[in-house]
Chains A and B, each alone.
Chain A
Amino acid sequence: MAAVLSRQPLDKATVSIPLGRIYIIPERCKGCRFCIDFCPRDVLVETTEMNAKGYHYPIVAEGKEDECIACQFCSILCPEFAIYTEEIVEEETAK
């Protein structure tokens, strides 16, 4: 992914890629895999565990912990309202 660009966007120094946090409600999941297949950054994978109804719910893939950009596509696409993302807003003092 680390392509070398000959030209850079003018506002590259001021714009930062947002970081998202993923929230999951495993008991609502019916294992349709929409969130896993259509995540633009391929953050999610199916877990090996099962919920009470026997479906494999999604979890964050190993090594992809900092890849979610909180685009909320999984949230609005999920037919069961079982997943959502929130952007982590870092405090100025923490930097």
Chain B
Amino acid sequence: MPEIVVESHPIDTVFRTDRLPHIFCPGCGIGPATHAYAQAILESGIPKDQHACVSGIGCTARVPGYMDVDSYHTTHGRSIPFALAIALVKPEMEVTVFSGDGDLFGIGGNHFIHAARRNVDINIICINNFNYGMTGGQAGPTLPLGARATTAPYGNTEPPFNLPYLAAATGAVFVARWTALHVRQLKEAMLRAMQKKGFTFIEVLSPCPVGFGSPNDIGDAIEEVWLYRERCVVNHDAYLPDLEIDLRRKDVPFVMGNFLDIEKEPFDPLAMMKNKGE
């Protein structure tokens, strides 16, 4: 059966197709993650007008502009406070923060830990490409030790954030990590996060051929994805402090999985105040 040339895609119902094709580089991992998110919206059973997608600044933060749901492109690092307000004022909304590692942990790190501490009912999808891609590949808080970036030409000397460990330690109820190649597992994790009440966190390791690949001698996106494919192991019961990513040590794998899935009461100050008044 030869291929058939068409004009539209079945998933286009959740996209603003007049904005496509998007601005991401060829082979960027944000594309598969966006597709998984779109698929999760369709399969979640929650109507499209009850989804909200919030982002800060960066490459990944362009995603809400392509989604045909209520979307919000906010200031740098402040995506979580905006999402928190939506989740509190409109509890029926399924609020998802779709942003990058530089935005969520570099600029907005404090907002992240305090939203996790309060257990606000929002879903965080963090696309981790290890650098500030949009501004030219500067070293971010997740750049692995020894990896090079525009502002770390001799190799990074600062230990990076271990994002699943940070999220679990500060109070998230669901923590997962997948790569942009694990699209089906990623979609299942997003569906689980949408079903859960409380603060959920999904880290997506994404190839960044221009910002991260080229200074680190990774030829193109497909080579970076093959690197993930060769070095990833799935271990849902992994010991979280061991999840650091080290590019120099070839014997240490990248551990993927749904690490944490617990129940905890979500943040609801209005209900607490009502109960006190009675």
Contacts and interface: CB of A to CB of B under 8 A. Distances in A.
B39 interface: yes
B5 interface: yes
A84 B10 contact: yes
Give the 3 A-B CB pairs with smallest separation, nearest first.
A79-B31, A32-B27, A30-B26
B187 A60 contact: no
A65 B1 contact: yes
15 contacts: A23-B3, A28-B20, A30-B25, A33-B27, A33-B222, A37-B225, A38-B225, A77-B35, A79-B34, A80-B22, A81-B9, A81-B12, A81-B31, A84-B10, A84-B11
B187 to A, nearest CB: 7
A80 B4 CA distance: 17
B28 interface: yes
Contact of A80 (B2, B12, B31, B181): B31
Contacts of A81: 9, 11-12, 15, 20, 31, 35
Nearest to A37: B222
Interface in B1-46: 1-12, 15, 20-22, 24-32, 34-36, 39
B24 A26 contact: no
Contacts of A50: none
A71 B11 CA distance: 16
B26 A55 contact: yes
A73 B9 CA distance: 14
Contacts of B7: 25
Contacts of B15: 81
Contacts of B29: 79
Interface string A74-90: 01111111101000100
Given A34-B225, A68-B1, A78 B35 contact: yes
B8 A25 contact: yes
A20 to B, nearest CB: 8
A37 B32 CA distance: 15
Contacts of A80: 20-22, 31
Contacts of B32: 34, 76-79
Contact of A24 (B5, B21, B25, B30): B5
A26 B6 CA distance: 8
Contacts of A23: 3-6, 9
B8 to A, nearest CB: 7
A25 B6 contact: yes
A13 B20 CA distance: 45
Given A55-B26, A84-B10, A32 B2 contact: no
B186 to A, nearest CB: 9
Given A23-B3, A32-B26, 13 more contacts: A24-B4, A25-B8, A30-B25, A31-B26, A32-B221, A33-B222, A34-B27, A59-B3, A76-B35, A76-B39, A79-B28, A81-B35, A84-B9
A60 B100 CA distance: 35
A31 B32 CA distance: 14
B183 A77 contact: yes
